[in-house]
């Protein structure tokens, strides 16, 4: 987490960063599967697709859920159980979220990546 002098907090994770001079670097965040498997999208973890900005939307939803839950987002003990959940279309429980946030955060977990809610629209829910 980064905090500026105005007290604004930014969540960041450079472990998946890929630095490139190409224009594609704006839409591709990783070229190999790494990072927290619990935050991986179905298309990346199951289908071995490349991560995109829409993968970041999924991970943002996971981060918000984890903050409210104060625990890991999936109650599982092995990778195969995670794969089963993602294959079945299951999404993390939003039980701990305030009701006002549930409709917005649920859009982070839409199965089709390019239909996930864009971050700019996501943050409007918090205002």
Confidence of residue 47 (pLDDT cuts 50, 70, 90): confident
Region of poorest pLDDT, from 44-58, 64-78, 83-97, 111-125: 111-125
Segments forming the whole domain that contains residue 31: 2-124
The string of DSSP letters for 41-104 reads: -HHHHTT-PPEEHHHHHHHHHHHHHHHHHTS-SS--SSHHHHHHHHHHT-----TTS-TTTHHH
- What is the CATH classification number for the domain harbouring 18? 1.10.510.10
Q: What is the pLDDT of residues 73-114, one digit of tens each?
A: 888 888 889 899 999 999 999 999 999 889 889 999 999 998
Residue 31 has pLDDT above 80, yes or no: no
Q: Which residue has the higher pLDDT, 78 or 124?
A: 78
């Amino acid at each position: 987490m980064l905090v500026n002098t105005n007290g604004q907090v930014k969540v960041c994770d450079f472990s998946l960063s890929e630095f490139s001079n190409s224009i594609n670097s704006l839409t591709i965040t990783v070229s190999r599967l790494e990072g927290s498997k619990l935050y991986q999208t179905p298309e990346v973890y199951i289908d071995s697709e490349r991560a995109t900005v829409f993968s970041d939307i999924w991970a943002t939803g996971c981060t918000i859920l984890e903050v409210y839950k104060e625990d890991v987002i999936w109650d599982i003990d092995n990778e195969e159980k995670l794969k089963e959940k993602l294959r079945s279309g299951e999404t993390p429980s939003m039980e701990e979220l305030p009701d006002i946030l549930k409709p917005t955060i649920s859009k982070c977990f839409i199965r089709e990546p390019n239909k996930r809610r864009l971050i700019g629209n996501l943050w409007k829910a918090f205002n």
